[in-house]
Amino acid sequence: MSRTASVLYTLCFFGALCLAPPVFATDDTPGEDAGTETPLRLKLGGNDYETYCASCHGVSGRGDGPVAEFLALTPADLTQLSRKNGGRFPAERVAQIIDGRQDVRIHGTRDMPVWGDWFDVEAESPGLRASEREMVVQERIKALLVYLETIQVK
Ligand code: HEC
């Protein structure tokens, strides 16, 4: 992503934060989302999914992206996350896997990129504090969760 694009991306998040502070201030899980933030997150999450995830996990999320055949491990079928968790979307676990920073510290390297680090680098822009960058990272992960929850098979 170009520098301008990434700054725009950051501003887009903080624009949303400014427009809807009560909504974004809550530490909600996707299942409990109600109201205005969901469509915005869904759109951002869908965009990020297409850009960063579909190459391995496939456009449909079934783990059949064009890069999959070159990996040692098969990318997971992301439409089965709820089904494999007794019908409930495991938001917290999925967020940790996507983020990856904690995971990699404990388990070492993995086939999937560490998106927490990647989003942090992308969030870098002049004058933004580390805590604000972290908010951008968390928002992007939340947006991905909202999107992923919509592709779960029943
Ligand atoms: C380079 C290929 C690649 C990309 C790109 C990729 N993944 Fe993965 N992903 C994998 C592989 C391989 C696994 C399974 C093995 C592992 O844990 O490394 C996996 C596992 C996962 C899991 C765990 C599923 C489970 O049932 O435990 C989730 C969730 C996930 N990916 C989400 C994402 C999201 C969201 C993105 C985009 C931000 C993404 N992945 C991008 C390769 C990729």
pLDDT in tens, 4-46: 455 445 545 554 544 433 344 444 455 454 556 789 999 999 9
52 Cβ closer than 6 Å to some ligand 1 atom: yes
Query: How far apart are alpha carbons 99 and 137 in whole angstroms?
Result: 9
Nearest protein Cα to ligand 1, atom 22: 76
Q: Is residue 7 packed enough to be buried (19+ CB in 10 Å), middle (13-18) or exposed (0-12)?
A: middle
Amino acid 12: pLDDT: 56
Amino acid 128: pLDDT: 93
pLDDT confidence tier of residue 1, bands split at 50, 70 and 90: very low
Query: How far apart are alpha carbons 44 and 60 in whole angstroms?
Result: 17
Query: How far apart are alpha carbons 154 and 151 in whole angstroms?
Result: 9
Q: Which of 112, 117, 121, 152 to mutate to test the pocket of ligand 1 (most atoms within 8 A of CB)?
A: 112
Amino acid 25: pLDDT: 40
Residue of 119, 59, 125, 72 whose CA lies nearest to 95: 119
* pLDDT tens sequence across 83-137: 999 999 999 999 999 999 998 888 888 889 999 999 999 999 999 999 999 999 9
Q: Which atom of ligand 1 is nearest to the CA of 80?
A: 26
Residue 4 tokens, joined: 């301008």
Contact of 143 with 45, CB cutoff 8 Å: yes
Q: Which atom of ligand 1 is nearest to the CA of 84?
A: 26
Ligand 1 centroid to Cα of residue 123, in Å, is 21
100 Cβ closer than 6 Å to some ligand 1 atom: no
Residue of 63, 60, 58, 90 whose CA lies nearest to 76: 63
Nearest protein Cα to ligand 1, atom 27: 76
* pLDDT tens sequence across 67-79: 999 998 899 999 9
Q: Which residue has the higher pLDDT, 37 or 62?
A: 62
